[in-house]
Structure 1
Amino acid sequence: MSEQTPLTPLDLPEGDPFGPHNLPYGVFSLPGEAVELRRVGVRLGSYVLDAGAAAAALGSPYVSLLARPTLNPLLAAGRTAWSDVRRALTAWVTVPAHREAVLPLLHPLDDVTLHLPFEVADYVDFYASENHATNLGRMFRPDEEPLKPNWKHLPVGYHGRSGTVVVSGTDVVRPSGQRKSPADPAPVFGPSVRLDIETELGFVVGTPSERGTPVPLSAYRDHVFGLCLLNDWSARDIQSWETVPLGPHLGKSFATSVSAWITPLDALDAARVAPPERSVPLLPYLDDTAPPGDGMADEPGGYDLRITVTLNGHVIAETSSAALYWTAAQMLAHMTVGGASLRTGDLYGSGTISGASEHERGSLIEITWNGRDPIELPDGKRTFLEDGDVVTMTAWAPGPDNTRVGIGEVTGRIVAAG
């Protein structure tokens, strides 16, 4: 019997969700390396390819984009460069002639440290799930229509704090602030006692735009590089007291966790889905119901990502982004229609993703119905998060030829207020 050639990191098992059809980008370092030695990596199975070193070894012109400590130069290079680099990377990990050069540049995931993959410019968070908005409306305004009159006319959102966007695995310190229940005569100050999660998608902007020039729906893919999972941690008690009349501030500003891996939009073509039927006519800059061929609706606007949320290892929700009422292109168009410019590294979130059933709710305030229906866990009941709790979100999307595209997880552990 002849000896079999041993498998290498390039020989992935069939169906691996992080195969050559995926190739998400991140930033990594090896143990003991200085901060300035961080560099761009591309995930392949359970390994990370040193993308800059591979470009150098293979004489690629993309060294200047990949041998960097952040994704920002690649993000700023634009859509043509994104496609060219992706084709090159695919060839490097699939063409047999490149194996000898590439294999030494693959590092086991367990041996590397993953960092925030891009320098975040501005951060905006939206409220794009009709199911989520309806649940909260029914919860807090039971005698009114659950959706506010503006909700189906525009993507509601707020400007968040980019400086507290952190990479998956970063501990989240329980925030302190003012809170006041209806029965309290005056507000008190202290750690939040109603700390929550928000299961979201984050969209990463690459190509900037000029101030005063709106970005139309048709230009979405010219500006957005990719997406990731996002958890916009929320202190509901602080939020509810401060939100009248201007909106979220301290209840949202303490931490927003993103995956260490950014999945390029080109890896998600098979996951595109048509947006929900529009029940209210949209103004022209948001109208994605026009027939194909006018440059506005040549492709579906949504993404079907199947997301699982666990609390201390126990599944508490399974939802999908396919039913989001507002698409990423509409959010981008609305964000810029007033003249705001895009910057490389801008991040915007979808808002909590919730489905129609109870098991598809993407926040604890919905899952427990504002604390009325606690979750039963092996280590006790939960209404909101306790110190030591670990929340992890994972996801996959349909890929080409019945494959799955793995989406990098986002996880965080709650630690006591300082």
Structure 2
Amino acid sequence: MSGSPPAASWLGIPAGSGFGLENLPYGVFSTGRDNRPRSGVAIGDQILDLTGVTGDPVHGTGSLNAFMAQGPRRWQTLRADLVTWLTDERHRRRVEPHLVPRGEARLHLPVEIADYVDFYSSRDHAENLGRILRPGGAPLTPNWLHMPLGYHGRAGTVVVSGTPVTRPRGQRRGPADDTPDFGPSQRLDIEAEIGFVVGSPSPAGRPVALPDLPRHVFGVCLLNDWSARDLQAWEYVPLGPFLGKSFLTSVSPWVVPLAALEAARIRPPRREVTPLPYLDDAAAEPWGLDIQLEVRLNGHLVSRPPFRLMYWTPAQQLAHLTVNGASLRTGDLFASGTVSGPARHQSGSFIELSWGGREPLELPDGSVRVFLQDGDHVTITAVAPGRHGETLSFGEVAGRVQPAAALTSQTASVPGPLGV
């Protein structure tokens, strides 16, 4: 897309829709009349069926992977074509039959996830957790200012927005307990995050440099890394997150192209420690992003986390992820980590909003929360500035908490230690 404002669409896109010509996010959908999952692009309150309008079978595979694997040149070409088709009246007769009202569509997981990595890149979030969990100690661990910390998650439990969240079971040990017990998590939490979807792979042994982010990352989505804080607290020493994280991660159904976010690029916060050369972006093009998130619990706005304050950028995360020679695969997903700001109402998790459970959160309807209860519905939305004054929407990632699943005969009896 050029630097001049795009022509108006013949579609008549509603003002403020968030899904205008500057956005054009990709997803996978089906309808009651045609239950084949296929790729589409959100435009206004419609979805443009890419299988029909392009005739390219790559868009009929049920995920974006095959298209993403074609690389940045193909991404750029199709994006330019979409703008032409939706603005030039000459294409209307061919394009219009392939538009589907978004309200009639079922949205699917847009990407077949290859690997999943979650980072820990908000300084405010990291310092908040340090003060909550290690009162009187240093808020940050010694390595935090030197590299983006993260953990490898479970790709098979990444699900699309709207998938129910079954409360996980596991081992828990209270502060006054000598031994753990087993049962449903009592400290179920969220983590409001931004996810980055890899389109182009990289070979093993060849790290991805900071400027190469756009060659590999196709787009951006919303992500909720559901977390069982009590399970996590008991298991995370010495190896880090495991069952307290791996039960479910939700992503939004729309992937906003990285190319749509040029106007949202900003400098990250000032760093007091100069990173090692492979992470030093002082002279590089900035990859901070001005994205504003909102978190709602049962319809009530409880937080507005600002992504612009993230200490480590996605370019630095990708560089660190691959610096040891790890390869990238099409469909890899890496997440920013919880997005939080310095104020309590900018926190991206309930452990921060309730300050570890010591200061319960009061909702406008009179109810009180520390962590999530069964039946609670969490929605995360986000917007970013477009190039010509348009606001870009990321849609939403949502989930409702369901009670822990009943134990089956296979899991009713917990075996004794096996000795590893």
Same fold (TM over 0.5): yes
Alpha-carbon deviations, 1:251-301, whole Å to 9, x = none? 0000000000000011111110101111101111101012xxxxxx1x211
Contact 2:117 2:152 in 1 (8 A): yes
Counterparts of residues 233-248 of structure 1 (less than 5 Å): 233-248=226-241
Q: Which residue of 2 aligns with 1:179?
A: 172
Q: Which residue of 1 aligns with 2:367?
A: 380
Alignment partner of 1:81: what SS? helix
Q: Which residue of 2 aligns with 1:52?
A: 51
**Paired amino acid for 1:45:** G
Counterparts of residues 386-397 of structure 1 (less than 5 Å): 386-397=373-384
State whether structure 2 residue 41 is matched by structure 1 residue 42. yes
State whether structure 2 residue 14 is matched by structure 1 residue 13. yes
**Paired amino acid for 2:145:** K
* Structure 1 Cα separation of the partners of residues 166 and 81 of structure 2: 41
State whether structure 2 residue 309 is matched by structure 1 residue 309. no
Alignment partner of 1:402: what SS? coil
Q: Which residue of 1 aligns with 2:320?
A: 334
Alpha-carbon deviations, 1:281-333, whole Å to 9, x = none? 1111101012xxxxxx1x21111111110000000001210010000000000
Identity of counterpart residues, as a percentage? 56
Contact 2:37 2:60 in 1 (8 A): no
Alpha-carbon deviations, 1:343-364, whole Å to 9, x = none? 0000000000001111100000
Q: Which residue of 1 aligns with 2:305?
A: 319
Question: What TM-score results when the alignment is normalised by the length of structure 2?
Answer: 0.92
Alpha-carbon deviations, 1:11-65, whole Å to 9, x = none? 113343101111000000011644xx21001001111110120113xxxxxx143
Alpha-carbon deviations, 1:104-130, whole Å to 9, x = none? 211111111100001000000000000
**Paired amino acid for 2:316:** Q
Counterparts of residues 59-98 of structure 1 (less than 5 Å): 63-98=56-91
Alignment partner of 2:93: what SS? helix
* Structure 2 Cα separation of the partners of residues 120 and 158 of structure 1: 16
* Structure 2 Cα separation of the partners of residues 160 and 114 of structure 1: 24
Structure 1 residue 148: deviation in Å?
0.6
* Structure 2 Cα separation of the partners of residues 190 and 361 of structure 1: 28
Contact 1:27 1:39 in 2 (8 A): yes
Alignment partner of 2:92: what SS? helix
State whether structure 2 residue 347 is matched by structure 1 residue 347. no
Alignment partner of 1:114: what SS? strand
In structure 1, the gaps of 5 or more residues are: 1-7, 57-62, 291-296
Q: What count of residue pairs does the alignment treat as equivalent?
A: 396
| Structure 2 counterpart of 1:150, from 137, 143, 147 | 143
**Paired amino acid for 1:383:** V
**Paired amino acid for 1:376:** E
Contact 2:17 2:45 in 1 (8 A): no
Alpha-carbon deviations, 1:66-95, whole Å to 9, x = none? 333210011111111111111011111111
State whether structure 2 residue 408 is matched by structure 1 residue 409. no
Name segments (4+ residues, structure 1) moved above 3 Å. none
Alignment partner of 1:270: what SS? helix
Alignment partner of 2:388: what SS? helix
Q: Which residue of 2 aligns with 1:293?
A: none
Alignment partner of 2:151: what SS? strand
Contact 1:52 1:68 in 2 (8 A): no
Out of 121-130 and 63-72, give the one that drifted further. 63-72
**Paired amino acid for 1:380:** S
* Structure 1 Cα separation of the partners of residues 372 and 10 of structure 2: 39
Alpha-carbon deviations, 1:138-165, whole Å to 9, x = none? 1111221100110010000000000000
* Structure 1 Cα separation of the partners of residues 10 and 330 of structure 2: 33
Contact 2:165 2:400 in 1 (8 A): yes
Q: Which residue of 1 aligns with 2:352?
A: 366
Question: What TM-score results when the alignment is normalised by the length of structure 1?
Answer: 0.93
* Structure 1 Cα separation of the partners of residues 26 and 298 of structure 2: 27
Alpha-carbon deviations, 1:361-393, whole Å to 9, x = none? 000000000111111122621100001100000
* Structure 2 Cα separation of the partners of residues 271 and 52 of structure 1: 30
* Structure 2 Cα separation of the partners of residues 14 and 109 of structure 1: 16
**Paired amino acid for 2:28:** V
Alignment partner of 1:137: what SS? helix
Out of 11-20 and 97-106, give the one that drifted further. 11-20
Structure 1 residue 10: deviation in Å?
1.1
* Structure 2 Cα separation of the partners of residues 93 and 51 of structure 1: 13
Contact 1:397 1:406 in 2 (8 A): yes
